[in-house]
Amino acid sequence: MTLSVPVNPVCPEFAVCGQISVADVAVFAKQGYRSIINNRPDGEGGPDQPTSAQIEAAAKAAGLRYVHFPVANLMISEQQVMAYHALCADLPHPIVAFCRSGGRANALFQACGCRVGQAG
C-alpha cells in the first residue's frame, strides 16, 4: 500500500503532508507513525474531503492516536502555538500532521520552534 499524498519529514519525530484519505491511515500505522494531527477544518474542501470523524475512526481502528486541531489560516496565535506544543509533547511519536497542502501543519511545527516532544 502506498500513500495518496507525499509526506515531508521535518524532524525524526514529526512529518507533515496534505489532505490524507481514510485509507492512508492504515499505511501510516504500518510505517510506524503513532499519532495523527488533523489541522484542517471539516468541510473546508467540500464534500470530497474526509471528515475528522471518518479519519478518527480509521486511526482508532489502526491503533493510532488522533487529534483534530483545526487552523483556518496561517494567522496562528500564541495560544494556539502553546496548545500545539503541549499536544505534541503529550502524543506518542512519531507524529504526522496534515492540512490541505501541509502548509499550516508545517507552520504550526515551525512556530513551536522545532521543539516537538520536548518539555517547555
Cell output for 33? 507513525
Q: How many CB atoms lie within 10 A of CB 20?
A: 22
Q: What is the CATH number of the domain that holds 104?
A: 3.90.190.10
pLDDT digits (tens, 9 = 90+) for 67-88: 999 998 878 999 999 999 999 9
92 in a structural domain: yes
At 74 the pLDDT is 75
Sign of CA dihedral 76, 70, 23, 112: positive
119 in a structural domain: no
Supply the range of the domain harboring residue 14. 7-111
120 in a structural domain: no
pTM over 0.95: no
67 in a structural domain: yes
